[in-house]
Structure 1
């Protein structure tokens, strides 16, 4: 939808740009795996994800252009996890980064509580990623737990967040 936001299925021609977005240094720094993803690794991941009914990967379009990726995992019940990343370079050049960030979060929540039929949406964020923590709080996510996990071999603090459908207006 031109001028708006939408989540759509991934097409084969999306795969190279998805990998480029995911390999952006700032995206890698905010992820649980920070290494640069090779084409072979990305192809193996995509093959596994597309065959797994408990996982869904969608392209986020902002103003009619692919601008990010939304992932859902653990589908099949009322609760699932999610994550995302954006085309930081393209959105920054166009001046749309903040609007796209907010638009992606709204679209992901609407999709989770609409078409996916979830009642609880769960996410995880590195504790030092304060911008994403603030964004999640803005949308009503509650920080429900903290724990440490290795990220590229280094223990890092992680915050688990949850959003409940019944608290959405």
Structure 2
């Protein structure tokens, strides 16, 4: 289940985001301090083009999804999970979060297309995007901590998602 993040979730989100595995897969890899995170939260929660959602699994907060560009034709999204809290259930939770977030983007936000930037080295997420029907649109280089890293930009259209769901539900 996805629900809007609240002030009470802010420190949990920061803890998840600062996990070494999450930082390695991110475009900003430094450990985020409380003041920096609070400033981010104040900005993002006041921005009508952004949504921060908490993914709950079996009633327990287990991940976060960020949508940017809400209200535009293309909505960008990113996500991460509670690496330590999920333990061996992490892969299953990651996939559940992916499907719920895609449904949310199209059914609740009304997006025409969603897109995600992923480091090429992040093979598990790229494979998951492939399984859920994302199409690689382009690759480019982005500097992360002073090092040029290859990035893949994937997109999924609402139409393609609905067709995919119809054919897999049969």
TM class, shorter-length: over 0.9
Q: Which residue of structure 2 aligns with residue 38 of structure 1?
A: 33
Does residue 158 of structure 1 match 2:151? Answer: yes
For residues 20 and 77 of structure 1, the distance between their equivalents in structure 2, rounded to whole angstroms, comes to 30
Q: Structure 2 matches for 1:124-143, cutoff 5 A?
A: 124-143=117-136
Q: Structure 2 matches for 1:19-38, cutoff 5 A?
A: 19-38=14-33
Q: Which residue of structure 1 aligns with residue 7 of structure 2?
A: 12
Does residue 85 of structure 1 match 2:85? Answer: no
Q: Which runs of 4+ in 1 moved over 6 A?
A: none
For residues 158 and 8 of structure 2, the distance between their equivalents in structure 1, rounded to whole angstroms, comes to 34
List gaps (5 residues or longer) in structure 1. Answer: 1-5
Q: Structure 2 matches for 1:41-80, cutoff 5 A?
A: 41-80=36-75
For residues 10 and 165 of structure 1, the distance between their equivalents in structure 2, rounded to whole angstroms, comes to 24
Computed over aligned residues only, the root mean square deviation of the Cα atoms, in angstroms, reads: 0.7
3-state SS of paired residue (1:8): strand
Displacement of 1:78: 2.2
Count how many residue pairs are aligned between Structure 1 and Structure 2: 162
TM-score, normalising length from structure 1?
0.94
Which of residues 158, 164, 167 is equivalent to 2:160? 167
Higher relative contact order (CA 8 A, sep 6+): 1
Does residue 145 of structure 1 match 2:145? Answer: no
Displacement of 1:77: 1.7
**More helix by percentage:** 2
TM-score, normalising length from structure 2?
0.93
